[in-house]
């Protein structure tokens, strides 16, 4: 089994682009190591420095980051419940992101386009599922960065774009 993770996702530090793979197959691991070496010799020095600092204080930081993301998940859960069936989701237990789905029974292709156009009119960007190989009905919401009031403001803008 191959697993992939990153500090951005596991530690909720968006923008810090350092990750890892666990690969039990030694041949595959060597192929991937060579591919990494041939595509980029190393990560950015600043990223490596920040990652080392974060990991050296992981026990101290993980509790506060986990609490922040738990609060954000609760805010998003409450918000989704207020959307009158326009959204569906599978509540994540952990992590820095969650996905919600515009209910396909409510949103046809033209409605989905109108939703993204309305967000554009408000100069608000939501990561559409198509960026991640999923349906345009899926949106990705970050939980690790915005303070609670900004998260709620952004969710309010999304709510407005969801209205018929």
- pLDDT tens, 10-63? 777 878 888 888 999 999 999 998 888 888 767 788 988 999 999 999 888 888
pLDDT band at 1 (very low <50, low <70, confident <90, very high): confident
* The pLDDT value given to residue 139: 96
Distance CA 161, CA 83 (A): 11
148-162 and 58-81 are packed helices; what angle lies between their axes, rounded to 10 degrees? 30
Residue appearing with tokens 């950015």: 44
- Domains of the chain, with CATH numbers? 3-56 (no CATH), 62-162 (3.90.1150.10)
């Amino acid at each position: 089994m191959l697993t992939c993770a990153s500090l951005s996702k596991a530690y909720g530090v968006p923008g810090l682009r350092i990750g890892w793979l666990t690969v039990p197959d030694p041949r595959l691991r060597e192929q991937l190591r060579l591919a990494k070496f041939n595509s980029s010799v190393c990560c950015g020095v600043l990223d490596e420095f920040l990652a080392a600092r974060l990991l050296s204080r992981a026990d101290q930081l993980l509790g506060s980051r986990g609490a922040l993301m738990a609060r954000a998940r609760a805010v998003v859960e409450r918000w989704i419940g207020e959307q009158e069936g326009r959204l569906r989701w599978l509540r994540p237990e952990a992590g820095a992101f969650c996905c919600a789905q515009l209910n396909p029974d409510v949103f046809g292709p033209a409605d989905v386009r109108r939703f993204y156009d309305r967000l554009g009119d408000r100069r608000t960007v939501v990561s559409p599922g198509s960026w991640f190989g999923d349906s345009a009905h899926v949106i990705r919401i970050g939980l690790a960065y915005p303070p609670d009031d900004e998260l709620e403001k952004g969710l309010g803008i999304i709510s407005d774009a969801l209205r018929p």
